[in-house]
């Protein structure tokens, strides 16, 4: 990614006023204040790393989706909207919602019911310690790499606002996130994510409404997109050939449905601890199950204020029009600059300050989510269960705080790695295919097949990762003639198929765990009452039913697909 404000030139420099600076400063103080107040509730490692499992569903639901509203969501998806048009909605409606519903209805009873404190710890219960440790290391690496993406984007905004070089802006940005996550742990991150959710909307909604007004409303946007380089195809979600860059419509649909909609989507949403951790902090099983489903409602609507502004940028901004006509970077400007250029063109001072705070909120939420999940996995799965077991709870609380510091320092390094990527979306999708798809393969096989062994789990996990990396290298060296985005879909599919195949073969030659040890960990061996649960007290009421909420959000997605077919 060469430019998301990376060149501090006149085109992308934000013309902030004193009012804008004051609004941003106030927001930073508010974030730190929340971290300080959350510190009072931290008295144990469980409080620091899982919020004492005391959060209500509406808080964890908003935090669940806010943790996902990072650099990928805003800059990456808006860039895709500018480049590919309405087909970008697939990342939401088929690439997120079904998996979020599946997590709430099917997988959360196993996560929450097992009392596992992390995804790797669940793998230890289902398989063995070796699988837990390997996945713990893999997840720790992935978390720091993705945290670096958000930190890089956060540093670029500070660079554009204050004119500081990235070598200064990135460490300063890391220091702010470090301050509130170290003070209050997961509670501080979650409460700030709820605040950040509304601040992000305060950026996106005005940007969309003002942009639509400038292009003559929806009809004006349709007319201008149709007359542009992409043509009318950019107003249709299917078959999505521009998005996948696969010429055959049937193969394009298969790539979207299987590669994105199944492997990448389910691999990310059902096993990524940065998301699952928010649900595990809920106060009850019912609240935990509702967490991803509550988050699915805003997730379904977010394309309306992310993808549509990207399309507006492609027809309204001369710089992005030039990029679209040239098919690539022009004078250092890329599709990744769509958001900041649109902010500069459309928003007056005052509102611009709120918008900048919204960007900062998004990137801090994304980074904090990865740092808080990193310190939980490292502290529990690597340090307590492997390196230094048997210490006091206060000892692990202090380890958690120090690991937060170490995670932020490492993220500074990975932020500079992210700065060398030509395309933010390609970079993150490649990471997902490396780390999430193989994990999903062994996870889903182990959940539904009691015969799967622990040895098969870690061998399948590593084999799937190797397969994804191999596909990525074949694409990079032009052995496979695929775009980077299509390469990620194929790589994720290869990781899943290889992971499942290898795990199945190894399992057939090994000895599985006794069935008595797998109750609550395997679908067929878990009583129906444990998979469904009975809501009591504040969680009771038909309108709080996870099944009802799931049906409603799926109906919403179908309606949206019909509108934008």
Q: For residue range 429-483, what is the model confidence (pLDDT) as tens digits?
A: 888 888 888 999 998 999 999 999 999 999 999 999 999 999 999 988 888 887 7
Percentage above 70 pLDDT, the chain: 88
Mean pLDDT calculated for residue range 545-555: 94
pLDDT at 1: 42
> Is 10 part of a structural domain of the chain?
no
**Per-residue DSSP letters for 434-476?**
HHHHHHHHHHHHHHH-TT--HHHHHHHHHHHHHHHHHHHHHHH
Which structure tokens are listed for 403?
């690991």
Does any domain span residue 5?
no
Q: Exposed, middle or buried, 280 (CB in 10 Å: 0-12/13-18/19+)? A: buried
Q: What is the pLDDT of residues 18-61, one digit of tens each?
A: 888 788 788 778 877 776 776 666 555 555 555 556 688 888 89
Which residues, in sequence order, are bridge partners of residue 55? 282
- pLDDT at position 299 is 94
The one-character DSSP state at 330 is B
Q: Most confidently modeled of 152-156, 478-482, 554-558? A: 554-558
Which residues fall within 8 angstroms of residue 311, CB to CB, at 6 or more apart? 81, 82, 85, 86, 221, 225, 234
- Alpha-carbon distance of 173 to 152, in angstroms, equals 9
pLDDT at residue 535, rounded to an integer: 63
Residue with tokens 């802006």: 169
539 located within any domain? yes
Do 154 and 135 form a contact (C-beta atoms < 8 A)?
Answer: no
Question: Cα–Cα distance between 401 and 12 in angstroms, integer?
Answer: 37
Sign of CA dihedral 439, 441, 442, 444: positive
Collapse the DSSP code of 17 into the 3-class scheme (helix H, G, I; strand E, B; otherwise coil) and give the result: coil
Residue 553 lies in a domain: yes
Instruction: For residues 103 and 289, give the distance between their C-alpha atoms in angstroms, rounded to a whole number.
Output: 8
Q: Which of 450, 543, 444 lies closest to 500, judged by CA?
A: 444
User: Does the pLDDT value for residue 71 go beyond 70?
Assistant: no
pLDDT at 297: 96
**Token digits of residue 298:** 């805003």
* In the predicted structure, residue 4 carries a pLDDT above the cut 60: no
The values of phi and psi at residue 333, to 5°, are: -95, 135
User: How many folded domains does the chain comprise?
Assistant: 1
Phi, psi (5° rounding) for residue 330?
Answer: -130, 115
Look at residue 183 and tell me if it is in a domain.
Answer: yes
Per-residue confidence band for 423, with pLDDT thresholds at 50, 70 and 90: low
Q: Is the peptide bond before 239 cis (omega within 30 degrees of 0)?
A: yes
Residues 60, 75, 151, 356, CA torsion sign: negative
Distance of alpha carbon 441 from the chain centroid: 19
284 located within any domain: yes
CB 189 within 8 A of CB 404: no
User: Taking residues 396-411, what's their average pLDDT?
Assistant: 87
Model confidence at 83: pLDDT above 60:
yes
CA distance 118 to 462: 20
- The pLDDT, as a whole number, for residue 47 is 52
Q: CA–CA separation, 49 vs 328, rounded Å?
A: 43
Tokens describing residue 273: 């601890």
Q: How many Cβ atoms sit within 10 Å of the Cβ of residue 519?
A: 11
pLDDT for 7? 45
Output 244 or 212, whichever has higher pLDDT. Answer: 212
Burial 22-44, CB ≥16 within 10 A → b, else e? ebbeebeeebbebbeebbeebee
Helix ranges (DSSP H) in 264-350? 265-271, 273-280, 285-301, 303-316, 318-326, 338-346
Pairwise CA distance, residues 239 & 253, whole Å: 6
Q: Who wins on pLDDT, 433 or 329?
A: 433
The Cα–Cα gap between 493 and 489 comes to 6
- 530: domain CATH number is 1.20.1730.10
Q: Looking at the domain assignment, is residue 551 inside a domain? A: yes
Q: Is residue 2 included in any domain, yes or no?
A: no
Measured CA distances, 493 to 24, 267, 432, 471, 486 (Å): 42, 11, 11, 10, 11
pLDDT tens string 472-513: 999 888 888 877 777 888 888 899 999 999 999 999 988 999
Structural domain range at position 384: 18-563
DSSP state of 512: P
Residue 364 pLDDT: 73
State mean pLDDT over 224-241.
82
Beta bridge partners of 333: 330
CA atoms within 13 A on the CB side of 376: 34
The pLDDT of residue 184 is: 58
Reduced 3-state DSSP string for 52-67 = HHCECHHHHHHHHHHC
- pLDDT over 70 (residue 532): no
Instruction: Please state which of the ranges 138-147, 167-176, 448-457 shows the lowest mean pLDDT.
Output: 167-176
pLDDT in tens, 234-278: 888 887 777 777 778 888 888 888 888 888 888 889 887 778 878
Residue 73: both structure tokens together:
């969501």
Give dist(CA 359, CA 353) in Å, integer: 10
């Amino acid at each position: 990614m060469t430019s998301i404000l990376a060149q501090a030139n006149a085109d992308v420099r934000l013309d902030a006023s004193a009012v804008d600076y004051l609004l941003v400063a106030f927001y930073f103080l508010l974030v730190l204040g929340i971290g300080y107040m959350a510190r009072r509730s931290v008295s144990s490692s469980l409080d620091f790393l899982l919020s004492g499992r005391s959060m209500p569903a509406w808080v964890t639901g908003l935090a669940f989706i806010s943790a996902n509203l990072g650099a990928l969501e805003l800059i990456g998806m808006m860039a895709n909207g500018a480049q590919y048009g309405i087909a970008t909605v697939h990342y939401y409606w088929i690439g997120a919602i079904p998996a979020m519903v599946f997590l709430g209805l099917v997988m959360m009873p196993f996560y929450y019911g097992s009392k596992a404190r992390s995804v790797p710890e669940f793998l230890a219960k289902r398989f063995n310690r070796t699988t837990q440790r390997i996945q713990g290391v893999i997840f720790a690496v992935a978390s720091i790499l993705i945290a670096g993406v958000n930190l890089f984007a956060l540093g670029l905004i500070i660079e554009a606002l204050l004119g500081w070089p990235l070598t200064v802006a990135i460490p300063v940005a890391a220091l702010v996130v470090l301050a509130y996550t170290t003070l209050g742990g997961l509670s501080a991150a979650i409460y700030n994510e709820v605040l950040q959710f509304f601040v992000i909307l305060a950026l996106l909604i005005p940007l969309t409404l003002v942009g639509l007004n400038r292009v003559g409303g929806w009809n004006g946007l349709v007319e201008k997109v149709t007359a542009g380089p992409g043509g009318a195809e950019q107003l249709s979600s299917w078959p999505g050939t521009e998005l996948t860059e696969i010429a055959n419509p049937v193969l394009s649909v298969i790539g979207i449905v299987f590669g994105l909609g199944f492997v990448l989507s389910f691999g990310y949403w059902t096993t990524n601890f940065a998301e699952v951790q928010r649900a595990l902090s809920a106060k009850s099983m019912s609240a935990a199950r509702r967490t991803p489903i509550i988050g699915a409602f805003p997730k379904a609507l977010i394309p309306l204020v992310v993808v549509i502004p990207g399309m507006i940028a492609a027809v309204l901004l001369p710089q992005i029009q030039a990029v679209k006509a040239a098919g690539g970077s022009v004078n250092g400007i890329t599709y990744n600059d769509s958001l900041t250029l649109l902010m500069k063109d459309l928003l007056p001072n005052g509102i611009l300050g709120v918008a900048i705070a919204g960007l900062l909120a998004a990137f801090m939420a994304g980074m904090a989510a990865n740092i808080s999940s990193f310190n939980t996995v490292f502290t529990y799965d690597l340090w307590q269960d492997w390196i230094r077991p048997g210490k006091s709870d206060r000892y692990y609380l202090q380890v958690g705080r120090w690991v937060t510091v170490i995670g932020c320092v490492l993220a500074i390094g990975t932020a500079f790695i992210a700065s060398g990527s030509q395309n933010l979306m390609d970079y993150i999708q490649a990471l997902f295919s490396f780390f999430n798809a193989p994990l999903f393969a062994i996870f889903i096989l182990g959940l539904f097949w009691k015969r799967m062994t622990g040895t098969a789990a870690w061998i399948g996990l590593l084999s799937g990762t190797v397969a994804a990396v191999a596909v990525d290298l074949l694409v990079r060296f032009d052995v496979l003639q695929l775009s980077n985005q299509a390469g990620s879909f194929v790589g994720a599919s290869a990781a899943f198929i290889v992971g499942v195949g290898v795990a199945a073969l190894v399992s057939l030659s090994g000895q599985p765990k006794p069935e008595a040890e797998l109750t609550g960990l395997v679908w067929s061996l878990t009583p129906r009452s444990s998979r469904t649960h009975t809501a009591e007290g504040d969680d009771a009421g038909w309108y709080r039913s996870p099944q009802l909420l799931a049906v409603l959000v799926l109906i919403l997605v179908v309606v949206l697909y019909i509108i934008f077919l």
